[in-house]
Amino acid sequence: MQGLIEKELSSKDKILKPDFNSKTGRELLAFYLQTKFKQILAFDKKYPMPIFREVNPDFINKFSKRLINNPEKRFLISITGESAAGKSTICREISKVIEQLSMPVTILSTDNYFNDISQLIAKYGTFDKLRDSGYDVDAPTSFQLDVLKSDLQDLADGLDIKCPMYLPNGTGISMPQAIEVKSSKIIIVEGTATMYEDVKDIFDVKIYVETDDEIRKKWFVTRAVEERNQDIQNALKHWDYIAVAGEKYVKPYRRESDIIINGKADLKYFAQILEYIHTITNNFQ
Q: Does position 285 have pLDDT exceeding 60, yes or no?
A: no
Mean pLDDT on 199-218: 93
pLDDT in tens, 236-267: 988 998 899 999 999 999 999 999 999 998 88
Q: Does position 54 have pLDDT exceeding 90, yes or no?
A: yes
pLDDT at 158: 94
pLDDT in tens, 13-30: 666 776 777 888 888 888
DSSP string, the chain: -HHHHHHHHH-S--PPPP-TTSHHHHHHHHHHHHHHHHHHHHHHHTSSS-SEEEE-TTHHHHHHHHHHH-TTSPEEEEEE-STTSSHHHHHHHHHHHHHHHT--EEEEEGGGGB---HHHHHHHSSHHHHHHTT--TTSGGGB-HHHHHHHHHHHHTT--EEEEEE-TTTT--EEEEEEEE---SEEEEESGGGGSTTTGGG-SEEEEEE--HHHHHHHHHHHHHHTS---HHHHHHHHHHHHHHIIIIIGGGGGG-SEEEETT--HHHHHHHHHHHHHHTT---
Mean pLDDT on 222-242: 85
pLDDT, greater one: 107 or 227:
107
pLDDT at 235: 87
Q: Does position 75 have pLDDT exceeding 80, yes or no?
A: yes
pLDDT in tens, 90-148: 888 888 888 888 888 899 999 999 999 999 999 999 888 998 898 998 899 999 999 99
pLDDT in tens, 159-171: 999 999 999 888 8
pLDDT band at 199 (very low <50, low <70, confident <90, very high): very high
Q: Does position 228 have pLDDT exceeding 80, yes or no?
A: no
The percent of residues above 70 in pLDDT, for the chain, comes to 94
pLDDT at 189: 95
